[in-house]
């Protein structure tokens, strides 16, 4: 097993295979807490984009 330093187990990324919707190849994505940590690029060029953490959309700063 690969240890990720002293970090909390819950913070360890997991690698999951996703099927490319374009060419059908397996793409390895890094998941952390159920979301994609970083962009995963398929050999065909398709990109599975990283997912942002869920944020509150308040946009209060726009109301200057």
Residues within the interface to Zn ion (CB under 5 A): 20, 22-23, 25, 42, 44, 46
Q: Say if strands 26-32 and 47-48 run parallel, antiparallel, or are unpaired.
A: unpaired
Nearer to Zn ion, 32 or 48 (CB): 48
Nearer to Zn ion, 14 or 47 (CB): 47
**In the complex, what is the shortest distance from the CB of residue 29 to Zn ion, in angstroms, rounded to a whole number?**
13
Closest CA to 40 of 23, 24, 16: 16
Q: What DSSP character marks residue 60?
A: G
Q: What DSSP character marks residue 25?
A: -
Nearer to Zn ion, 31 or 48 (CB): 48
């Amino acid at each position: 097993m690969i240890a990720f330093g002293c970090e909390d187990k819950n913070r360890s990324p997991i690698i999951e295979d996703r099927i490319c919707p374009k060419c059908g190849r397996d793409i390895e994505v890094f998941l952390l807490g159920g979301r994609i940590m970083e962009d995963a690029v398929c050999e065909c060029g398709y990109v599975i984009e990283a997912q942002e953490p869920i944020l509150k959309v308040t946009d209060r700063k726009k109301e200057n």
